[in-house]
Amino acid sequence: MDLTFTPEHDAFRMEARAWLEANVPPPGALRSLDTAEGFDDHRVFERQLFDARWSVVSWPKAYGGREVGIMEWLIFEEEYYRAGGPRRVSQNGIFLLAPTMFEYATDAQLERYMAKMASGEEIWCQGWSEPDAGSDLAGIRSKATKTDGGWLLSGQKTWCSRGAFAHRCFGIFRTDPSAERHRGLTYFLIPMDAPGVTVRPIAQLDGETGFAEVFFDEVFVPDEDVLGTIGDGWKVAMATAGSERGISLRSPARYTEAADKLVDLLLATPVDEGHHLDPRSAIADEVMKAYADAQAYKLHTYMTATKVREGHTVGAEASATKIFWSETDVAIHRAALRLLGESAELEVDDGRGGTDLSEWLDGYLFALSGPIYAGTNEIQRNVVAERMLGLPRA
């Protein structure tokens, strides 16, 4: 048992820190990711990251990575959050699609897509959910029918994060209409500018368009853009779902940095004198609970990373992890809003003559989606009970 980093790790950390300190834009400098202008602002920064080979540190060098291990990835993420790096516009591609690509893609596919994904030249959105298949992905109805040299895709996907502005989409479609549930599905890589694709942006709680509905009307996708085997889409997709829920999506630093800021906010909150019960102390316990959970998540991730590095795979534990990080994220931001009290609802000057959500309020709205997406926490609790504790299925 050794919880210290090696000198090589420390050197890697210092190199990342130096670059990030010099290059991360100040808070608010990039416009909101969920607007067309902000989307471009964020792509410019992705390009900078890529040019300095920081955008995908664990990937092969051929696609812009550094071929480093999971510990270095964790270190980079720690530094990224420490430096206050902006939300990653390429997140769906590099964190959700990429692990699946490295497992299932042909060399030609990797060649065609990975470097552009890493540089932010091509931003990917996900095409998982359908109006009647949210938590129940096996209920997918969108279909693909064979045609010369490829497939014609028809149907509707929804809750496509980044869907309003993305260049490409990954998702599963039913290729065998006679098969049901998990069978007869195939995984496709789809250009968003193909004829037949219609995007309807969906405004989220704050009124900005973080996701979209995407309609497919006989959209042609060539054979070479099938990922994995025809009919094998469920298995391929589950690899992505595993990544989404598992350790790769959520760096612990995201929570430990936020929790540290929360403690700062607590210590800066004036104590109200003149009564015996100090409400700051009452909220302090809630703050410290959130802090402790963020720390616990970090240590748990180190333990998981050790296992992964030693060849173990993460199974149902990914469901426990997803429950924990999503609820920790809500807890951190809710505690902050409680500290802010009546002013929590107020927007703040965005430095460009308008107002925008405060960092805490924005973070809270974002956090609230955590227990819902990537499989609701209700579904995840079923998985923990059935697969980790052996309870009988209903």
Partner 1 sequence: MRFSFTEEQLVLRDTVTAVLADWCTPGDLHELYANDAPDAGRSHPRWNALFNLGITALHIPEVDGGLGLDDRELIAISEAAGRVALPEPLSETAGVVVPILVASGAGHHALEPFLDGGGAATLGGVTFTPSGPRIASVADGHRVRTSGITQATASHHLLAVSSASGPELHLAVTADGDLTRTTSLDRTRRLGTLTWTPTDATRLATGPLAATLLDQAVNRAALYSAAELLGLCDAMITLTAVYVSERKQFGVPVGSFQAVKHHLAGARVKLEFARPAVYAAAWSLATEHPSATHDISLAKSLASDAADEAARVSLQCHGAIGYTFEHDLHLLMKRAWALSAAWGDARSHRARLLNLLQAERSVLPS
Residues marked as catalytic: 244
Number of amino acids touching partner 1 (CB under 8 A)? 92
> Is the CB of residue 217 less than 8 Å from the CB of residue 154?
yes
Task: Please classify residue 207 by burial: count the beta carbons closer than 10 Å to its beta carbon, then call 0-12 exposed, 13-18 middle and 19+ buried.
Answer: exposed
Query: 265 or 288, CB closer to a copy of itself?
Result: 288
Binding flag, residue 156, partner 1 (CB under 8 A): no
Task: Please classify residue 260 by burial: count the beta carbons closer than 10 Å to its beta carbon, then call 0-12 exposed, 13-18 middle and 19+ buried.
Answer: middle
Positive or negative, the Cα torsion across 173, 178, 181, 182?
Answer: negative
Rounded least distance, CB 282 to a copy of itself, Å:
4
Residues 183-222 that bind a copy of itself (CB under 8 A): none
Rounded least distance, CB 275 to a copy of itself, Å:
10
Binding flag, residue 61, partner 1 (CB under 8 A): no
Binding flag, residue 372, partner 1 (CB under 8 A): yes
Site string for a copy of itself, 258-287 (x = CB under 8 A): -------------------xxxxxx-xx--
Query: 112 or 387, CB closer to partner 1?
Result: 387
Of 28, 84, 134, 150, which one interacts with partner 1 (CB under 8 A)?
134
* Residue 179 interacting partner from a copy of itself, partner 1, none (CB closer than 5 to 8 Å by kind): none
Helix or strand holding residue 161 (H, E)? strand 150-161
The β-bridge partners of 127 are: 171
* Residue 62 interacting partner from a copy of itself, partner 1, none (CB closer than 5 to 8 Å by kind): none
Binding flag, residue 251, partner 1 (CB under 8 A): no
Residue given tokens 């009988």 in the structure block? 392
Hey, what amino acid is at 383? V
Work out the widest C-alpha separation in the chain, in whole angstroms.
80
> Is the CB of residue 203 less than 8 Å from the CB of residue 264?
no
> Is the CB of residue 354 less than 8 Å from the CB of residue 113?
no
Around 5, how many Cα atoms within 13 Å sit in the side-chain half-sphere? Answer: 17
Query: 235 or 338, CB closer to a copy of itself?
Result: 338
Rounded least distance, CB 338 to a copy of itself, Å:
11
Residues 255-274 that bind partner 1 (CB under 8 A): 263-264, 266-267, 272-274
Residues in touch with a copy of itself (CB under 8 A): 277-282, 284-285, 288
